Structure 1
Amino acid sequence: MNKYDVKEIYLKIRGKSFQSQFEEFNNIKSREELDRFQDKKLEDLLIHAAKNSGYYKNLLKNIDLENVTDEEVFRQIPVLTKDVIRSQLKDLVSVDAKTRGCFYNTSGGSTGEPLRFVQDQPYTQGANATNFYYYQNLLGVNGFAAKKVLLWGSERDLLIKHRNLFGKFANWVNNAKFLNSFKMKSEDMARYADTINSFKPEILRGYASSLYSFSKYLDQNDKKIYSPRYVVSTAEPLRNQMRDLIEKVMGTKVYNFYGSREIASLAGECHEGLLHYFPFYTKLEVLDDDNNPVKAGEEGKIVVTNLFNYSMPLIRYEIGDMGVLGPETCECGSFLPTLKSITGRITDQFTLEDGSQVPGEFFIHMIGRVCNRGYIKKFQIIQEDYDELRMMVVPDKEIPTKYIQKVNQELKTVMGDDCVIEWDFVDDIPKTTSGKYLYTISRLDK
């Protein structure tokens, strides 16, 4: 028995085996087959939601579900907002959720608005199958077998100071090395370079800002690095200057991958530079301010309907991102529809006095997930100085002093014990004039 047999057993035990679901996706060979597949999944989802979710039972009672795959009928369903999810969480959850291996999850608040929701095993299996489909069919690599280095955030390493045996086993099974992007001091990045040079991964995947910081460190210190076949940037917006430096240092193309905590595996970049989204897993719309579809080349808000999470259906969910719709066809040969780009969110990295940088994703992850107790409706963090942060917070309810102290303590694990953190409670945090939301802002060198 090799490690790939072990991995399949491991995934089955955890309810995450995706092979059969991947085969179903992979058997779709044309846009026509894709449309039929999505229509059937969408119809099944909506019928289930109308029967099993109190919220949707009321919302869909006047919708013609027999013809709901008609776009005009489907668009009669109101867009689902984050505020509705907060206020209607219990009614959104299906009565049969416990039969589906359901579990609670939280968003990191990448649009500045942390959220709690329910997912299940079929959702997870679909996400894993979609992720595997992307690597195999758009990039041409077996994501199951390839050697991978993940430059990813782990608050656990920061708070308990060690990796447990289960984590090490999971990395072995996945043929992966894990590097903590929440620890990015010079000595950390020197060690990460040694790991990559000795492990020689086929895939390097990480937060956009962490890949950028790592590449900047390598460039400034004239350090040589093994060139992976693929570098995949995710979790944060990939700006042009970030892409340019990462590609220069790594000696290979960077591929942008788009997903969220609420709905994973939304779109992935192909060799031609377009982001293909995956209608067999999630129905994705790009809408204008009046909730009408935009044309190719136009920007609009991204609204998604996951087709696999029956435990808490997210139907026409306004995820908080903006995107530019791409052309109907792509020179890469894939029949999947495209986005030209993801827009609407901006993150700044924070800089410590020793020159090391902290990715904006750390703060979203720590506040939106680790310390998410439902107190914060919306937030923005501003670095005023090396050891001074200002928290702009729209509270959802009264915030206890102990909670503020807990958050401050966690943030100081990265920013330093001397960091002063001021909390400002406000009614709203506006977007920029261009419609973008800045959830971390650094005042240094500006």
Structure 2
Amino acid sequence: MSRLYTQLVSKIIFPLQERLKKHDTVRARRSLERSQWLSPEQIAAQQLAELKTFLIDIGLHVPYYREAFARIGFKPESLQSLADLAQLPTLTKPLIRDHAEALKHEHAGPLGRSSTGGSSGTPLQFFISLERVSHDVAAKWRATRWWDVDIGDREVVVWASPIELHAQDRVRLFRDALMRSTLLNAFAMNEKNLDHYVQRLREIRPAMVFGYPYSIALISAHAKKRGVRLDDLGVKVVFVTSEYLHDHQRELISEVFGCKVANGYGGRDAGFIAHECPEGGMHITAEDIVVELLGEDGQPVADGQPGEVTVTHLRTRDYPFLRYRTGDVAVRDTRRCACGRGLPLLREIQGRTNDFLRATDGTMLPCGAFTYLMRETEGITNYKIIQETQLLTRLEVVRPGGLDQATRQKLIDGLKFRLGREVEIQVELLDEIPAQGNGKYRYVVSKLQ
């Protein structure tokens, strides 16, 4: 009966929902499931043809790139290889902020506003098309099915949801219930809630678990400490994303749940970049995304060398992400995965480590708990939160328009709400927040650990 319900959801209910949203998700997923078995050479050829069409279109109809291509004398129709991308300038968060309107396609369809702090924590607002959403959902759906689970199978999601902090969305709750997806709030990882989460997992008996590696590792460690088994629930896979997955976290989660852990990499801005298959390969969604790894000089690094993940999302013509610098670091994997898929591989994704802060009640708060607060505060372009002691936290903010008292108080109240009313919050307005010695930023820093 359970499997029949899964088929009802995956073949009828979810596709109907996507059609009502005007998403082309089902067709896109079917296409991805065919193309993944092509040879690496065939996938590369398909990717190059798609890239040329993409560049010709945005060169004609996107003001920002029409001017940029003319300025450097770049002719998209002359593209011969992916290496030719190096002729083009990269795209950064500041450039998107400064040219938000010029990046829109002149004949763009409906565009939705999106925002992200992502793994870096830097707030960014941009626009996203129905085509982009459809393909990102399809890519995630394809990767889910690699593990013999599907939409409609029982799922527990351990996520930092703003819904849990504010008001419950009844429509979303109904949809989640229909899809058999249960949310456990990663904002509330204290002792009492961990007991509750372990109990809920035993009650639900999910086929898959999805969420932050740190949060799921906390649940795993708590279950182990309590002597409560989670390896007899029938969980087939634990999907993790949004943070760096440490080896000890993978080992602990796998041990406690009695299944493999699948790492996923991407973001609202960059798209669904890569996902791990059962054979351990971190497959790039190459049909939709071109990944370059760039060195400090902005040039591609040699295979086996770490470089900044820079993506061109081929389904973003209406609001192009062309050579978008993610700030993350990875190494290309040149081997062919044992699973037989022709998709290229990444390894050693290094750029998504987020610290956690400890609230006065013992709750461990992920970076996302603070990203939402910063994202909702207009004008903030950068920030860093430093937890000096249990009762003192400093917030450094870059806000070009200044920081009025009302905004300052909103930030203080927001941090106190998360960390504890008795915590002293010191807010400092800065012109810039420098990177660390290695060139990377840390947006949440705890000195308690």
Task: Find the partner of 1:50 among 49, 55, 59.
Answer: 59
C-alpha displacement of 1:385: 1.7
State whether structure 2 residue 243 is matched by structure 1 residue 236.
Answer: yes
What is the CA–CA distance in structure 1 between the aligned matches of 2:196 and 2:23, rounded to whole Å?
32
C-alpha displacement of 1:288: 1.1
- C-alpha RMSD over aligned residues: 2.0
Whether the 8 Å CA contact 1:345–1:437 is kept in 2: the answer is no
Structure 1 equivalent of residue 322 of structure 2: 315
Whether the 8 Å CA contact 1:274–1:341 is kept in 2: the answer is no
C-alpha displacement of 1:17: 4.3
Q: Deviations for 1:183-213, whole angstroms, at most 9, x for unmatched residues?
A: 2222222222222112111110001221122
Structure 2 equivalent of residue 421 of structure 1: 425
Task: Find the partner of 2:400 among 375, 396, 399.
Answer: 396
2:87 is paired with a residue of what secondary structure? coil
Task: Find the partner of 1:33 among 22, 39, 42.
Answer: 42
Task: Find the partner of 2:78 among 67, 73, 86.
Answer: 67
Task: Find the partner of 1:380 among 360, 369, 384.
Answer: 384
Residues 336, 39 of structure 1: alpha-carbon distance in 2 compared, 3 angstrom cutoff: same
How many pairs align?
Answer: 436
Whether the 8 Å CA contact 2:151–2:179 is kept in 1: the answer is yes
Residue correspondence of structure 1 range 95-134 to structure 2 within 5 A: 95-97=106-108, 99=109, 101-134=110-143
What is the CA–CA distance in structure 2 between the aligned matches of 1:77 and 1:351, rounded to whole Å?
44
Structure 1 equivalent of residue 179 of structure 2: 174
State whether structure 2 residue 95 is matched by structure 1 residue 88.
Answer: no
State whether structure 2 residue 227 is matched by structure 1 residue 219.
Answer: no
Question: Aligned AA for 2:172?
Answer: G
What is the CA–CA distance in structure 1 between the aligned matches of 2:439 and 2:285, rounded to whole Å?
26
2:321 is paired with a residue of what secondary structure? coil
What is the CA–CA distance in structure 1 between the aligned matches of 2:103 and 2:318, rounded to whole Å?
9
Whether the 8 Å CA contact 1:297–1:340 is kept in 2: the answer is no
Structure 2 equivalent of residue 183 of structure 1: 188
Question: Aligned AA for 1:302?
Answer: V
What is the CA–CA distance in structure 1 between the aligned matches of 2:181 and 2:283, rounded to whole Å?
25
C-alpha displacement of 1:391: 1.0
C-alpha displacement of 1:174: 2.4
2:394 is paired with a residue of what secondary structure? strand
Identical counterparts, % of pairs:
26
What is the CA–CA distance in structure 2 between the aligned matches of 1:241 and 1:365, rounded to whole Å?
28
Task: Find the partner of 2:207 among 194, 202, 206.
Answer: 202
2:319 is paired with a residue of what secondary structure? coil
Structure 1 equivalent of residue 340 of structure 2: 333
Question: Aligned AA for 1:50?
Answer: G
Structure 1 equivalent of residue 349 of structure 2: 342
What is the CA–CA distance in structure 2 between the aligned matches of 1:49 and 1:9, rounded to whole Å?
32
1:204 is paired with a residue of what secondary structure? strand
Whether the 8 Å CA contact 1:114–1:372 is kept in 2: the answer is no
Structure 1 equivalent of residue 16 of structure 2: 9
C-alpha displacement of 1:408: 2.4
State whether structure 2 residue 412 is matched by structure 1 residue 408.
Answer: yes
C-alpha displacement of 1:13: 0.9
C-alpha displacement of 1:309: 1.5
Question: Aligned AA for 2:387?
Answer: Q
Whether the 8 Å CA contact 2:155–2:180 is kept in 1: the answer is yes
State whether structure 2 residue 291 is matched by structure 1 residue 284.
Answer: yes
Structure 1 equivalent of residue 197 of structure 2: 192
State whether structure 2 residue 446 is matched by structure 1 residue 442.
Answer: yes
State whether structure 2 residue 302 is matched by structure 1 residue 295.
Answer: yes
Segments of 4+ in structure 1 off by > 6 A? none
Question: Aligned AA for 1:409?
Answer: D
Structure 2 gaps of 5+ residues are none
State whether structure 2 residue 437 is matched by structure 1 residue 433.
Answer: yes
TM-score scaled to structure 2, two decimals?
Answer: 0.92
State whether structure 2 residue 151 is matched by structure 1 residue 144.
Answer: yes
Structure 2 equivalent of residue 263 of structure 1: 270
Whether the 8 Å CA contact 1:114–1:377 is kept in 2: the answer is yes
Residues 400, 45 of structure 1: alpha-carbon distance in 2 compared, 3 angstrom cutoff: farther
Residues 102, 127 of structure 1: alpha-carbon distance in 2 compared, 3 angstrom cutoff: same
Structure 1 gaps of 5+ residues are none
1:140 is paired with a residue of what secondary structure? coil
1:342 is paired with a residue of what secondary structure? coil
